[in-house]
């Protein structure tokens, strides 16, 4: 992830502002998941992009990757305390999004 200045909003967006990263973290708030589970929860993401986001988030300390010595190998991803600390940010975003949807209706692209 890029070096940041002093703006706290920029710092937050550097984590959750990358395409798909916020949604990956959001889905991991419910607990550990496997790569295939995340693919099903994120329609439209490619397996490569998901792998890239997971690696970035792991490298930045927001999630852990656990590999189990089974055949076939089982890999699970789980948020670290730093990752879970984003929970209140997502709760606030969800509250705002729901209130805005109720007031203004569905967004159109």
Domains of the chain are 8-101 (1.10.10.10)
Q: Is the peptide bond before 101 cis (omega within 30 degrees of 0)?
A: no
Measured between alpha carbons, how far is 24 from 86 in angstroms, rounded to an integer?
Answer: 12
pTM above 0.75, yes or no: yes
C-alpha angle 43-20-60 in degrees, rounded to nearest 5: 140
Tokens representing 1 are 């992830």
Collect all residues with Cβ–Cβ distance below 8 Å to 45 and sequence separation of at least 6: 20, 39
Contact 25, 64 (CB under 8 A): no
Note down pLDDT in tens along the chain; length 109 residues: 455 567 888 888 888 888 899 999 999 999 999 999 999 999 999 999 999 999 999 999 999 999 998 888 899 999 999 999 999 999 999 999 999 999 988 877 5
């Amino acid at each position: 992830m890029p070096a940041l200045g002093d703006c706290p909003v920029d710092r937050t967006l550097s984590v959750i502002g990358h395409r798909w990263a916020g949604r990956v973290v959001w889905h991991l708030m419910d607990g550990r998941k496997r790569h295939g589970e995340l693919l099903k929860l994120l329609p439209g993401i490619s397996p490569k992009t998901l792998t890239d986001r997971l690696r970035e988030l792991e490298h930045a300390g927001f999630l852990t990757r656990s590999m189990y010595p089974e055949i076939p190998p089982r890999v699970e991803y789980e948020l670290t305390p730093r990752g879970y600390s984003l929970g209140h940010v997502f709760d606030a975003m969800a509250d705002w999004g729901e209130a805005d949807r109720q007031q203004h209706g569905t967004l159109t692209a």
